[in-house]
């Protein structure tokens, strides 16, 4: 097999850290507000469906 050596991700072409961080922050916000939304639905179900 061919030895391709180590890949240096920090110097590789095509790494867009600004876009990566923006996507990660968007994902974190989606999870945060999604969790709050589901918890709110469960609380409202506990109040109104009993």
Each residue of 6-17: pLDDT tens digit?
766 666 666 788
pLDDT of 15 reads 72
How many whole angstroms separate alpha carbon 22 and alpha carbon 44?
33
pLDDT of 7 reads 66
pLDDT of 26 reads 97
Judge whether 15 and 9 are in contact, CB under 8 Å.
yes
pLDDT digits (tens, 9 = 90+) for 1-50: 567 777 666 666 667 888 999 999 999 999 999 999 999 999 999 999 98
pTM of the model: 0.66
How many whole angstroms separate alpha carbon 9 and alpha carbon 15?
8
Judge whether 16 and 24 are in contact, CB under 8 Å.
no
Which tokens sit at 41?
Answer: 């639905």
Long-range contacts at 45-49 (CB < 8 A, ≥ 24 apart)? none
């Amino acid at each position: 097999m061919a030895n391709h050596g180590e890949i240096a991700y920090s110097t590789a072409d095509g790494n867009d850290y600004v876009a990566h961080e923006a996507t990660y922050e968007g994902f974190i916000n989606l999870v945060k507000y999604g969790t709050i939304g589901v918890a709110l639905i469960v609380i409202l179900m506990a109040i109104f469906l009993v």
